[in-house]
Amino acid sequence: RDVAGARDDGMLGFYLQYFAVGVIYGGLPSTVYGFFLGYLNVEGYVYATAATIITMPWSFKFFFGAINDCFPIAGYRRKPYMVFGWALCAAALLRLATLPLPPPYWCVEGRAYVRTVETADGGVEAAEPCNPDAAKAG
C-alpha cells in the first residue's frame, strides 16, 4: 500500500469513474460541434443549446452528491449511484449510436463537403445544399 493512498485498490473504481467522466465531457462537446454545425448546418443558437444541455448534469453535481450521501442504497453511498449513472449513460449512447443519420446538408465529394462552386465566368459562388432540411431532421 502506498503511503499517500494513491495505490489503494479499493479506489480503482473511483479513478476509473473520473477518467470516464473526463472522456465523456471532453469528447461529447467536440463531436457536437462538428455534427451540428458541419454536418447538419444548424443555426448557432441550436448548437449553443445542445452544448448547454450536454454540460447540464455537471451543474447538478452538488445535488446528486447530496442525494447519494443522504439516501444510501443497500448501505452504499456512491457505488449504486455510479452504476446506475453509467448504465443510463451507456443506454443513452447506445441509443444515439443506433439512430440513423439524415443525409448531410452539404454534398460530399471524396472526403470533403462541397460548399462553393465555380461559375462559368471563373467566379465562385455558394453551392446548393444537397439536403436543405438537414437541420430539421437532426
Q: Is the pLDDT of residue 4 over 70?
A: no
Q: How far apart are CA 55 and CA 29, in angstroms?
A: 8
Q: How far is CA 35 from the centre of its chain?
A: 10
Q: Which of 34-38, 95-99, 125-129, 133-137 has the highest mean pLDDT?
A: 95-99
Q: Is the pLDDT of residue 76 over 60?
A: yes
- Put simply, whether the predicted model's pTM sits higher than 0.85 gets the answer no
Here the cell at position 134 is 438537414
CB burial readout 117-130, b (16+ within 10 A) else e: eeeeeeeeeeeebe
What digits encode the pLDDT tens for the residues 81-109? 988 988 998 999 899 899 998 888 888 87
